[in-house]
Structure 1
Amino acid sequence: MYLALQIILVITSLLMGLFILLHKGKGGGLSSLFGGGMQSNLSGSTVVEKNLDRITVITAILWVACIILLGLFQAFDWAA
């Protein structure tokens, strides 16, 4: 179980990084520096953005749950 949680933690960490980078930039930050400001008018529907938000939140919840469970495993020495 401990190894499975570690694997899930690595996978959710990579997915969260990917999903966060896929989000559309809201301001004039780094996203507009690389042409994101020009594409914001041409971007697709908001349904895709809403689904991406939901997937990101679910992935973040799984990530936090894995961290808490791994902490409990180490605190109570259940990893053996």
Structure 2
Amino acid sequence: MNPLLIILIALLVISGLGLIIFILLHSGKGTGISDMIASSVYSSQTGTSIVEKNLDRITIIFAVVFLLSLIALMIVYPSGTIATR
């Protein structure tokens, strides 16, 4: 296998798993995992917003890496050009 293919697929898998994990960490109406973590770490309401902002930033980074690696795979290896021997 081509090293470029291995790197792009690894980026795609890692960023996809990161997206799944960080999307699940987001709270929905105050009952998510991030609220439980934030309430134990920070006692004020400002701490929760900081945690949510950081979760948003990390999720956006993972989404951008996922999309860029997917587009790179589509450009470098169009449909049917990856030969497995």
TM-score (norm 2): 0.68
Q: Give the 5 Å matches for 1:1-80.
A: 1-26=4-29, 36=31, 43=39, 44=42, 45=47, 46-75=49-78, 77=81
Q: Could you report, residue by residue, the CA deviation over 1:2-34 in whole angstroms, capped at 9, with x for unpaired residues?
A: 1101011000000100000000113xxxxx8xx
Query: Which ranges in structure 1 are unaligned for 5 or more consecutive residues?
Result: 27-31
How many residues align? The count is 68
CA distance in structure 2 between the aligned counterparts of 1:14 and 1:58, rounded to whole angstroms = 13
Secondary structure at 2:51's aligned position in 1? helix
What fraction of aligned residue pairs are identical, expressed as a percent? 41
Deviating beyond 2 angstroms after TM superposition, the runs of 4 or more aligned structure 1 residues are: none
Query: Which ranges in structure 2 are unaligned for 5 or more consecutive residues?
Result: none
CA distance in structure 2 between the aligned counterparts of 1:5 and 1:74, rounded to whole angstroms = 10
